[in-house]
Amino acid sequence: MVNPSALQILGISAVLIYVCVLPLGLHKVREGHVGVYYRGGALMRAVAEPGFHTKIPLLTSMAEIQVTVQTDAVKDIPCGTSGGVMVDFEKVEVVNRLRKTHVLDTIRNYTVNYDTTWIFDKIHHEINQFCSKHTLHEVYISLFDTLDEHLAAALQLDCDVWAPGIEIISVRVTKPRIPTQIRQNFEKMEAEKTKLLIAMETQRVVEKEAETERKKSTIEAQMLSDVSRINMDKELAEKDVRRRISSIEDEIHLGREKAYADAVYYAHIKEAESNDRLLTDNFLEYSRILSMGNTSKVYFGEKLPGVFVDSGPGNG
């Protein structure tokens, strides 16, 4: 039979052990992270959300994994160009995120230091590959603006195949350091290029102004030509109106003269017809007698009585 006092002591001991051990197993997971557990070195399937959790002390260990956006800075990356010039990239920043749904697979395959394999080491490799395929001018100037996009695409391509839980958001690359003498030569070249661009821009502005003046002169000449044409058309229209008015006036005058001539002609015709009716033999004899009666001459001789008879109509 078990002694009741022994059971009490055993229970109190268990409570004391639990109270002492509990703080060792209590832990928290910060916001933006998840917790993964190892027991005996083996990764467990449990993933802890942010908050307080408990674990078995000494047997279970916990690692926090960030699942929000983070920036990994890869510094001092030396590389050699295709021409044999050594350059050094001071810093390459990779903005990335580990998807929460792929945490266990990524940690199981690449440990909690997965970013060392797929970001830090990969950046070194891609930078050296890029430099070895291009000249110093391409690395430092002509292709530098495409380097960040090239690195982001290369990282994401490999991650999609081997570590699909890693999302590459962007890559930022600082200007590489090059030997001082070469850098000064590039600076001089850029200064000369800037001067050339300024000269070309100045020439373009001058040509643009000249083109503007030419167009302005053309427009003004066209306006003057249009005004002259309008004035000429107006003058021609006025002359045509005056010509028509003169023609109408001439027609009116001609009509009046013709009417007057017709009237005179008609009067003469009527007068002639009237005279034809008046100039009969009797009228002519009457007119002769009146004429003789009005004369002041005196006739003497034997032929005096017959002067009127012999000179009448029908006598020779």
Both 55 and 74 in a single domain?
A: no
Tokens representing residue 89 in the block: 């990239």
Cβ atoms within 10 Å, residue 159: 20
pLDDT for 269 equals: 86
Residue where one domain finishes, among candidates 148, 163, 178: 178
Tell me, yes or no, if the pTM score tops 0.75. no
pLDDT for 316 equals: 44
Residue 254 lies in a domain: no
Q: How far is CA 193 from the centre of its chain?
A: 28
d(CA 198, CA 179): 28
Both 92 and 9 in a single domain?
A: no
Residue 83 lies in a domain: yes
How many Cα neighbours within 13 Å face the side chain of 251? Answer: 6
Residue 196 lies in a domain: no
Counting the structural domains of the chain, the total is 3
Both 121 and 155 in a single domain?
A: yes
Both 9 and 55 in a single domain?
A: yes
Query: Taking Cα atoms as reference points, which of 47, 159, 51 lies closest to residue 98?
Result: 159
Whichever domain contains 103, its CATH number is 3.30.479.30
Residue 104 lies in a domain: yes
Residue ranges making up the domain that contains 24 = 4-65
pLDDT for 17 equals: 59
Residue with token string 């440990």? 111
pLDDT for 302 equals: 58
d(CA 299, CA 307): 9
Residue 215 lies in a domain: no
Residue 270 lies in a domain: no
Residue with token string 């002492």? 20
Residue where one domain finishes, among candidates 13, 36, 65: 65
pLDDT for 66 equals: 96
Residue where one domain finishes, among candidates 178, 198, 224: 178
Secondary structure of residue 165 in the 3-state scheme: coil
Cβ contacts of 93 within 8 Å, gap of 6 or more? 71, 72, 73, 74, 171, 172, 173
Compute φ and ψ for 164, nearest 5 degrees: -65, -10
Both 11 and 45 in a single domain?
A: yes
Given a contact cutoff of 8 angstroms between Cβ atoms, the answer to whether 40 and 59 are in contact is: yes
Both 55 and 82 in a single domain?
A: no
Long-range Cβ contacts of 277-284 (<8 Å, 24+ apart): 281/313, 284/313
Secondary structure of residue 248 in the 3-state scheme: helix
Q: 95 exposed, middle or buried (CB, 10 Å; 0-12, 13-18, 19+)?
A: middle
Both 123 and 51 in a single domain?
A: no
Both 91 and 26 in a single domain?
A: no
d(CA 33, CA 62): 12
- The residues of the chain scoring below 50 in pLDDT are 1-2, 309-316
Residue 214 lies in a domain: no
Residue 49 lies in a domain: yes
Both 61 and 94 in a single domain?
A: no
d(CA 16, CA 10): 10
Both 76 and 152 in a single domain?
A: yes
pLDDT for 290 equals: 79
Both 72 and 40 in a single domain?
A: no
Both 172 and 72 in a single domain?
A: yes
